[in-house]
Amino acid sequence: MFSSCDKKFKNDNFTAYFGGEVTNPLNRYVLFMKDNKVIDTLPLDRNNRFFKKFDSLTPGLYTFKHDPEYQYVYFDKNDSLMVRLNSSDFDESIVFCGRGEEKNNFLMDLYLKNQNDGKKMFEVYDYDLPKFTKYIDSAYTSKKSYYETKKEALKWSEDFDFYAKAALDFPYYTKKEIYPVVHEIRTGQNIISKLPSNFYSYRDEINYNKEELTNFSPFVKYLTYMLNNLASEKVASTSTPEDKALEMNITKLNIADTLFKNQNIKNSILDNIAFAYLLEDQHIINNKKFLDRYNELSTDKSQQNEITKIGDAIQMMKSGNELPSIDFINLNGETISSKDAIKGKSIIFFWTENAESHFETVHKKAIDLKSKYPNYNIIAINVDDNQAKWKTILSNYNFSSITELRVKNFEELKDKWVITKIQRAIVTNANGTINNAFVNLFDVKFADNLK
């Protein structure tokens, strides 16, 4: 624990404190957030510690984020908390101390119990219905007993209990939503008709219009699977996966429109559906139909503009279009435009120093493709911002058949090329135009894009 943990805190009526220590930091700050909005940026000092006195902090659930990881912290009135974490083992390393430590350590313990339980679920989804139900009910009963014991001992507030109970219940509900889908994928058995009539009875007990749940990840994850299931029941098989994806996601928009009465929540859920649909690897022709329906239902014009901007950017990445111009930096530190760097038939992929196994695997895959398709240029784009570290990493390897570049401005890359996940790849034609901008190098059909 921190030697200064209790010394920092003063007994007054209006202030609250939040501080901590980050071992192996990935950057020099911690973001303090509420409902996905940054309240404050807390810089790390030379000892990798941060500290903030808030003159007045509204009780509730907050988020602290050390990119790319985040976790929750709950403040009651006058709580003063320190947190210790290690970015190399983020969730497992988090420990709170100070006024309010018990309930926050409980939330972390429950989160880790759910995470560990989730790791065991892969084979559990193979179980027949009675065995599956017995397994998840037993695990839930154990965690519920832990929750009730802590609730009685700590006498926490009703507002905190709302999140504690949600963190207990929604992972259990999520398993039930996942089960029939994964069971069929893994065993080939469709068991939907065998589910008892009360299998999803908990759905009727959930208040979907509580704004406090809108950005709470256990609820958001549950909602994702629940909407998928409801939409699947309404969508008939169509001729192509692309058309089915469109129909599924428009159906999810329509369900959300009916299910959520609170307009703020409805807008948030519509945005989540839109982001997930627009940013997945997919055929992009149907996006206009989807966006037309989204725009009919959403009243959040500011967020709508963001969704529309993504839609417009995706349209610019259609086959036959020229790649929007982006600036890169080469190994000599010189700026070079994408128009000059990418000429002729090319395979472009992306990597980051924060995903070491992916970095090595994707480069080996690219080298293999180069040997099979020597008429293609292979271009690797690093998305990090440290030139020296980038060069040092590459100096340990011999990737002579690959052109290595680093993006100059990641936000520009994200906005213009819609790069939101590192697994994306882009294939260009002989004249430099786009062949396929939404493809994965490890897709079994990737070679179909190469001529």
Q: pLDDT for 304-336, tens place per residue? A: 778 888 888 888 998 999 999 999 999 999 999
Cα 247 to Cα 228: distance, rounded to the nearest angstrom:
11
Is the model's pLDDT at 8 over the cut of 80? Answer: no
Q: What are phi and psi of 321, to 5 degrees?
A: -80, 160
Is the model's pLDDT at 4 over the cut of 80? Answer: no
Cα distances from 431 to residues 138, 221, 320, in angstroms, run 61, 43, 10
> What is the predicted pLDDT for the residue at 315?
85
Q: In this predicted model, what pLDDT tens digit does every residue of 56-93 receive, in sequence order?
A: 899 999 999 998 899 999 999 889 999 999 998 999 99
Helices 129-154 & 158-187, crossing angle to 10 degrees?
160
pLDDT band of residue 3 (cuts 50, 70, 90) is very low
> What is the predicted pLDDT for the residue at 445?
85
**Sheet hosting strand 327-329, strand order edge to edge:** 335-337, 327-329, 403-407, 377-382, 346-351, 424-428, 434-440
In which residue are the tokens 């007994």 written? Answer: 11
pLDDT band of residue 104 (cuts 50, 70, 90) is very high
Quick check: bond before 180 cis, omega within 30?
Answer: no
Is the model's pLDDT at 2 over the cut of 60? Answer: no
Cα distances from 94 to residues 17, 51, 109, 158, 391, in angstroms, run 17, 16, 10, 24, 33
31 within 8 A of 21, measured Cβ to Cβ: no
Which range (10-24, 87-101, 388-402) has the least confidence? 10-24
- In sequence order, what are the residues at sequence separation of 6 or more whose Cβ sits closer than 8 angstroms to the Cβ of residue 431? none
Task: Outline where 1-65 has alpha helix (H).
Answer: none
> Which of the 8 DSSP states describes residue 206?
-
Q: In this predicted model, what pLDDT tens digit does every residue of 237-266 receive, in sequence order?
A: 666 777 888 999 999 999 999 999 988 889
Cα 371 to Cα 208: distance, rounded to the nearest angstrom:
54
> What is the predicted pLDDT for the residue at 303?
73
- Cα angle: 248, vertex 250, 252; to 5 degrees: 70
> Which of the 8 DSSP states describes residue 325?
P
Cα 65 to Cα 94: distance, rounded to the nearest angstrom:
12
Closest CA to 413 of 345, 336, 283, 313: 313
> What is the predicted pLDDT for the residue at 385?
87
pLDDT band of residue 356 (cuts 50, 70, 90) is confident
> What is the predicted pLDDT for the residue at 1?
41
> What is the predicted pLDDT for the residue at 7?
43
Mean pLDDT over 427-445 rounds to 90
Q: What are phi and psi of 188, to 5 degrees?
A: 80, 5
Closest CA to 403 of 341, 318, 326: 341
pLDDT band of residue 423 (cuts 50, 70, 90) is confident
- As given in the structure block, the two tokens for residue 414 are 């994200």
Cα 268 to Cα 326: distance, rounded to the nearest angstrom:
31
Cα 169 to Cα 144: distance, rounded to the nearest angstrom:
9
Which range (115-129, 237-251, 331-345, 391-405) has the least confidence? 237-251
Chain-centre distance of CA 54, in angstroms? 29
For the chain, what is the mean pLDDT?
90
In which residue are the tokens 């192509």 written? Answer: 240
Residue 252: enclosing H or E segment and its boundaries?
helix 241-259
